[in-house]
């Protein structure tokens, strides 16, 4: 099945009832005919529509085709908008009592093409209405129908379908989780999906041995850092390799064990034989954002999974993992925390804390994680305190220069000039708006003349073409002026704020991190110990 008919099928799975308006209208040529002939024409149009509906109903027996109104206008009245039944049609759609409109042909719909295009291309799609002109073969649900851009309807179809499936997938997943049926996804190390029954988990012996070993080591009072070293030394493969997922690995570096991986495995209740699912959900079918649910909302089903670590041992491990030894080192409030990056690989620079503060040093995270095993980046290991001093000196110099330049500039700057420019721009903006107004009115007038039959459609198109172009160029000008004005206004606001931060920074005896991070975007640490500081705002008075 091709994509388009697939979508159509999907749509019909979602939309089960089509509430239809049949709309008929006399054409100009029929104006002079006798009332009998006229009513015959209206009836004829309605019959054609009705036959079309009967055919569709046979083709799609699962959909209900319900005619909610048969409307008709005589076509004699003055402007398009005066048609009484047409107004009724609009009302029915706006009040969501109809989602389909059928006419005999397109011309029944609007006066010539101007109106009908507008409805087909914009108004119907916006209101999720299917429009069919039987004899013209127009059907806004059939994307191949030559008459318009189907994007709005397609979007709507896709959305309805996605909403529908997303809801039923969620429900199935929850039902499975409650029954202890595995919903897929990679289970914890030591377990694998039963190749004969994908809803079941069985033991994966190699991984299970490693989990047992990890448990042993923790209960043996080893810290997670020590365990990492043991695993690396013993050349124990990491979980992705054991599970055969090596294609997910970062090919550039040889990945190694880290403390978080071990912690994740040993805190996963699944190793005690409980199937745990429903840890996450998504906000809606529109958002793929994953939300982590609180632990009490997880779905736990006991005795569904082979036990790797008995419950009592698992509890003991949790206590050990919470001990001081395994806590992540409580980080100091370093002034430069989170501001430094490796100039060579772009990864963060971490600060290694020692109890004796004189020994603190920084190191490239990437190197720290992988560098021991493979040649990635270089250590970038420097004394933190020296680096901090270097940064502060640099910032102070920069700030002092900024204040100096700013003072000088203040004096030189002709404040009057900026104000005059702003006034001038405001005048220009006003003028543009007035011009656009005028031009729009002239188009309206032209349309009235067209409607009254004074000019024909060709004249209308020709005469409005230039006006439309003029509107566009006025709009362009307006945009430029508005932007310029914004820039002028912004300059006025932003600069003093920044100079305030700079001055505040200089006034502090002990600089604080919040203020520093408002001045600095990032500090790049080079491998020769030098730094490049990227400031949030460039000194506007400085060349280059
Ligand atoms: Zn690096």
Question: What digits encode the pLDDT tens for the residues 428-482?
Answer: 999 999 999 988 888 888 888 888 878 888 888 888 888 888 888 889 899 988 8
pLDDT for the residue 330:
46
Please state the domain extents for the chain.
Answer: 3-161, 182-326
Cα–ligand 1 centroid distance for 534 (angstroms): 18
Cα–ligand 1 centroid distance for 459 (angstroms): 69
pLDDT for the residue 253:
47
Mean per-residue pLDDT, 333-346: 86
Mean per-residue pLDDT, 271-276: 94
Give per-residue burial for 502-519: e unless 16+ CB within 10 Å, then b.
Answer: beebeeeeebeeeebbbb
Cα–ligand 1 centroid distance for 355 (angstroms): 25
Cα–ligand 1 centroid distance for 303 (angstroms): 47
The SS3 assignment for 524 reads strand
Task: Centre a 10 Å sphere on the Cβ of residue 21 and count the other Cβ atoms it contains.
Answer: 24
Question: What digits encode the pLDDT tens for the residues 56-87?
Answer: 888 877 778 889 999 988 755 434 445 778 88
Task: Centre a 10 Å sphere on the Cβ of residue 445 and count the other Cβ atoms it contains.
Answer: 10
Cα–ligand 1 centroid distance for 98 (angstroms): 63
d(CA 169, CA 150): 28
Cα–ligand 1 centroid distance for 232 (angstroms): 22
What residues contact 502, with CB distance under 8 A and at least 6 apart?
Answer: 399, 402, 403, 519
Kind and range of the H or E run holding 361? strand 361-364
Give per-residue burial for 481-495: e unless 16+ CB within 10 Å, then b.
Answer: beebbeeeeeeeeee
The structure tokens 């006229």 sit at 38
Partners of residue 383 on adjacent β-strands = 361
The SS3 assignment for 289 reads coil
- Phi first, then psi: give them for residue 512, nearest 5 degrees: -110, 160
Cα–ligand 1 centroid distance for 510 (angstroms): 30
Cα–ligand 1 centroid distance for 64 (angstroms): 65
| 265 confidence band (pLDDT: 50, 70, 90) | very high
Question: What digits encode the pLDDT tens for the residues 213-238?
Answer: 999 999 998 888 888 888 888 888 88
CA angle 286, 288, 291 (to 5 degrees): 115
Mean per-residue pLDDT, 532-541: 78
CA distances to 301, 405, 411, 419, 497 from 414, rounded to whole Å, are 76, 15, 8, 9, 20
Mean per-residue pLDDT, 356-379: 75
pLDDT for the residue 404:
83
| 116 confidence band (pLDDT: 50, 70, 90) | low
Q: What is the pTM of this model?
A: 0.39
What integer best gives the mean pLDDT of the chain?
Answer: 79
d(CA 147, CA 121): 9
Is domain 182-326 annotated with CATH 3.90.1750.20?
yes
- Phi first, then psi: give them for residue 230, nearest 5 degrees: -60, -45
- CA-nearest of 106, 81, 82, 145 to 23 is 106
Q: Are 431 and 474 in contact (CB under 8 A)?
A: no
Cα–ligand 1 centroid distance for 366 (angstroms): 6
Cα–ligand 1 centroid distance for 535 (angstroms): 21
Q: Are 32 and 41 in contact (CB under 8 A)?
A: no
Cα–ligand 1 centroid distance for 364 (angstroms): 5
d(CA 392, CA 173): 55
- The pLDDT > 70 percentage for the chain reads 75
Cα–ligand 1 centroid distance for 56 (angstroms): 66
Cα–ligand 1 centroid distance for 370 (angstroms): 10
CA distances to 283, 372, 411 from 289, rounded to whole Å, are 7, 35, 52
3-161: which CATH architecture?
3-Layer(aba) Sandwich (3.40)
Cα–ligand 1 centroid distance for 374 (angstroms): 13
d(CA 380, CA 12): 62
Q: Are 485 and 425 in contact (CB under 8 A)?
A: yes
d(CA 410, CA 398): 18
Cα–ligand 1 centroid distance for 262 (angstroms): 25
Cα–ligand 1 centroid distance for 384 (angstroms): 16
Query: According to DSSP H, which parts of 238-335 are helical?
Result: 239-242, 259-266, 311-322
Give per-residue burial for 92-124: e unless 16+ CB within 10 Å, then b.
Answer: bbeeeebbbbbbbbbbbbbbeeeebeebbbeeb
Q: Are 140 and 150 in contact (CB under 8 A)?
A: yes
Cα–ligand 1 centroid distance for 190 (angstroms): 34
Cα–ligand 1 centroid distance for 452 (angstroms): 76
Cα–ligand 1 centroid distance for 379 (angstroms): 7
Task: Centre a 10 Å sphere on the Cβ of residue 383 and count the other Cβ atoms it contains.
Answer: 14
Question: What digits encode the pLDDT tens for the residues 468-485?
Answer: 888 888 898 999 888 888
Cα–ligand 1 centroid distance for 332 (angstroms): 22
Higher pLDDT, 300 or 377: 300
Cα–ligand 1 centroid distance for 376 (angstroms): 8
Sheet holding 349-352, edge to edge: 349-352, 361-364, 382-383
Cα–ligand 1 centroid distance for 28 (angstroms): 78
């Amino acid at each position: 099945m091709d994509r388009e008919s697939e979508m159509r099928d999907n749509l019909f799975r979602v939309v089960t009832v089509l509430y239809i308006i049949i709309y008929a209208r006399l054409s100009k040529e029929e104006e002079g005919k006798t009332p009998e002939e006229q009513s015959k024409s209206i009836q004829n149009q309605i019959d054609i529509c009705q036959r079309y509906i009967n055919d569709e109903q046979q083709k799609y027996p699962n959909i209900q085709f319900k005619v909610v109104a048969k409307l008709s206008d005589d076509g004699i009245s003055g402007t398009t908008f005066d048609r009484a039944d047409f107004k009724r049609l609009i009302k029915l759609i706006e009040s969501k009592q109809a989602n389909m409109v059928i006419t005999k042909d397109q011309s029944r719909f609007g006066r010539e093409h101007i109106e009908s295009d507008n409805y087909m291309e914009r108004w119907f799609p916006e209101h999720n209405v299917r429009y069919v002109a039987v004899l013209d073969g127009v059907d806004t649900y059939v994307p191949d129908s030559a008459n318009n851009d189907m994007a709005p309807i397609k979007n709507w179809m896709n959305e309805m379908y996605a909403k529908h499936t997303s809801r039923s997938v969620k429900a199935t997943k929850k039902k499975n989780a409650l029954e202890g049926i595995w919903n897929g996804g990679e289970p914890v190390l030591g377990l694998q999906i039963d190749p004969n029954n994908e809803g079941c988990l069985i033991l994966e012996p190699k991984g299970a041995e490693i989990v047992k070993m990890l448990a042993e080591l923790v209960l043996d009072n080893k810290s997670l850092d020590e365990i990492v070293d043991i695993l690396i030394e013993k050349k124990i493969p990491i979980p992705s390799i054991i599970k055969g997922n090596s294609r997910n690995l970062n090919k550039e570096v040889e990945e190694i064990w880290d403390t978080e991986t071990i912690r994740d495995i040993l805190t996963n209740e699944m190793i005690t034989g409980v199937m745990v699912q429903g840890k996450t959900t998504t906000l809606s079918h529109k958002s793929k954002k994953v939300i982590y649910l609180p632990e009490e909302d997880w779905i736990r089903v006991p005795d569904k999974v082979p036990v790797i670590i008995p419950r009592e041992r698992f509890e003991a491990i949790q206590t050990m993992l919470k001990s001081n030894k395994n806590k992540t080192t409580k980080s100091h409030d370093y002034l430069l925390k989170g501001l430094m990056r490796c100039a060579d690989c772009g990864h963060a620079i971490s600060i290694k804390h020692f109890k004796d503060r004189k020994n603190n040093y920084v190191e490239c995270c990437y190197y720290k994680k992988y560098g021991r095993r493979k040649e990635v980046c270089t250590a970038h290991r420097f004394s933190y305190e020296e680096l901090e001093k270097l940064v502060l000196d640099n910032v102070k110099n920069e700030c002092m220069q900024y204040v100096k330049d700013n003072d000088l500039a203040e004096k030189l700057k002709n404040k009057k000039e900026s104000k005059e420019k702003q006034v001038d721009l405001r005048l220009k903006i006003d003028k543009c708006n007035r011009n656009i107004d005028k031009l729009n009115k002239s188009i309206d007038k032209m349309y009235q003349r067209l409607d009254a039959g004074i000019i024909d459609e060709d004249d209308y198109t020709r005469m409005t073409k230039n006006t439309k172009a003029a509107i566009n160029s006025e709009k362009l000008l307006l945009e430029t002026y508005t932007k310029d004005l914004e820039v002028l206004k912004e300059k006025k606001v932003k600069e003093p704020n920044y100079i305030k931060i700079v001055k505040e920074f200089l006034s502090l005896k002990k600089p604080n991190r919040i203020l520093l991070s408002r001045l600095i975007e990032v500090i790049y640490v080079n491998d020769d110990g030098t730094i490049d500081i990227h400031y949030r705002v460039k000194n506007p008075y400085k060349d280059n």
